């Protein structure tokens, strides 16, 4: 290495070793802060959900004397949690399947064929990703009433399918674009028609994209609150999120059972995250979410 360059390299810091050491301490302090901030409240919630109320009030940070699993059975009994849980599952799974299927069909046509105003139409649909959906409360409420499905699970399934169509369409089209057209051209020569090309070639090959879109859609549907509250009025069709919101009224003094109920509501999200972590991260990093 030429002498000049060598000197220049170290001229900025007199003690490179030491500043590197402090740099890495600062780094670990920052990273540890965010780790603690993310994990600590949730661990606290989990521990508290296993305590008695007296223990919680007396010493908020202690471990339970004896694990109170009765809090969990209470949560199920008092709030009708199994009903809410079932409704959330039915709504989220149906909305996910419907949304991904419809988005995949449209994405296929948009990715593979040319027609008038295609780019304009696609751009308008994609702009839908940025619309603050909660501002559409009145018209969607009116629409659901007109369709005669107010206070049914179908109301939520249709709404969730509709409002996240732009995002799913965007994600899936990106994946279909990456499938070589030659595969389909070969299939056409073999006498493969429009529908069998879609179901036999595109569907299996775009699977990672479909799973990514489905994961986001499931989490959205499971966690959605505004429309779940607006479009339903009776407990028999309400979902988990609306349910836990009203727990605070039902469990006026029984905090620890309420915490148990919150923990139960989080479990499907955790399972989904553990199973589909790769798809979520690749969905975010492949630019799928970039407006």
Partner 1 sequence: MKKTISSKIGMVLFLLPAGLFFISFFVYPLVFIIITSFTSWDGLSQPVFNSWNNYRFVLSDPTFKLSIQNNIGWILAGGFLQVPLAVLVAILLARKPKGWKFLRTVYYFPNVISIVAMSMLWMAVFNSEYGILNGLLKAVGLEGLQQNWLGNYFTAYPAVVLFGVFYIGYFMIIILAEISSIPETYYEAASIDGASRLQQELHITLPLIRGSTLTCMTIAMVYGLRQFEQTYVMTNGGPANRTMVLVLYLFKKINDFQYGVANTSAVFLLMIGVIIIVGLRRLFRAKD
162 binds partner 1 (CB under 8 A): yes
Cα Rg, the chain, nearest whole Å: 26
72 binds partner 1 (CB under 8 A): no
Residues 179-208 vs partner 1: string with x where CB under 8 A? --x--xx--x----xxx--x----------
State the residue for tokens 């619309």.
131
133 binds partner 1 (CB under 8 A): yes
135 binds partner 1 (CB under 8 A): yes
Going from the C-alpha of 79 to that of each of 87, 196, 227, 235, the distances in angstroms are 14, 48, 21, 10
Residue span binding partner 1 (CB under 8 A) among the ranges 37-45, 73-81, 148-156, 203-211? 37-45
Residue span binding partner 1 (CB under 8 A) among the ranges 66-74, 78-86, 148-156, 251-259? 251-259
* Exposed e or buried b per residue across 14-40, where buried means at least 16 C-beta atoms within 10 angstroms of its C-beta: eeeeeeeeeeeeeeeeeeeeeeeeeee
Burial (CB < 10 A; 0-12, 13-18, 19+), residue 286, is middle
Residue span binding partner 1 (CB under 8 A) among the ranges 66-74, 75-83, 148-156, 242-250? 242-250
Nearest distance in Å: CB 69, partner 1: 20
76 binds partner 1 (CB under 8 A): no
Within the chain, residue ranges assigned H as helices are 3-11, 16-48, 53-58, 70-79, 81-112, 118-127, 137-146, 153-163, 165-177, 181-189, 194-197, 203-205, 207-223, 226-230, 240-250, 255-285
Among 38, 249, 252, 253, the residue binding partner 1 under the rule CB under 8 A is: 38
54 binds partner 1 (CB under 8 A): no
Among 63, 183, 186, 270, the residue binding partner 1 under the rule CB under 8 A is: 270
125 binds partner 1 (CB under 8 A): yes
Nearest Cα to Cα of residue 159 among 231, 239, 235, 79? 231
Residue span binding partner 1 (CB under 8 A) among the ranges 65-73, 74-82, 131-139, 149-157? 131-139
166 binds partner 1 (CB under 8 A): yes
């Amino acid at each position: 290495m030429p002498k000049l360059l060598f000197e220049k390299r170290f001229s900025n810091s007199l003690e490179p070793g030491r500043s590197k050491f402090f740099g890495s301490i600062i780094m670990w302090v920052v990273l540890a802060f965010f780790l603690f901030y993310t994990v600590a409240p949730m661990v606290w919630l989990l521990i508290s959900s296993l305590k008695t109320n007296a223990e919680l009030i007396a010493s908020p940070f202690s471990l339970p004397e004896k694990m109170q699993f009765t809090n969990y059975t209470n949560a199920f009994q008092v709030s009708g949690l199994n009903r809410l849980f079932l409704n959330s599952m039915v709504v989220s799974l149906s909305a996910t399947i419907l949304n991904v299927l419809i988005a995949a069909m449209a994405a296929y046509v948009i990715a593979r064929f040319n027609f008038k105003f295609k780019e304009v139409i696609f751009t308008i649909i994609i702009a839908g990703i940025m619309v603050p959906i909660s501002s559409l409360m009145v018209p969607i409420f009116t629409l659901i009433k007109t369709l005669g499905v107010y206070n049914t699970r179908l109301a939520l399934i249709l709404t969730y399918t509709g409002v996240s169509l732009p995002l799913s369409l965007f994600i899936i089209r990106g994946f279909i674009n990456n499938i070589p057209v030659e595969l389909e051209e070969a299939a056409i020569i073999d006498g493969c028609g429009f529908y069998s090309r879609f179901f036999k070639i595109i569907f299996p090959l775009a699977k990672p994209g479909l799973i990514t879109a489905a994961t986001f859609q499931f989490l959205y549907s499971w966690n959605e609150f505004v429309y779940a509250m607006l479009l339903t009025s009776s407990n028999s069709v309400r979902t988990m999120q609306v349910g836990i919101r009203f727990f605070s009224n039902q469990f006026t003094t029984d905090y620890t059972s309420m915490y148990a109920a919150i923990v139960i509501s989080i479990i499907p999200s955790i399972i989904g995250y553990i199973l589909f972590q790769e798809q979520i991260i690749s969905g975010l990093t492949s630019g799928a979410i970039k407006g």
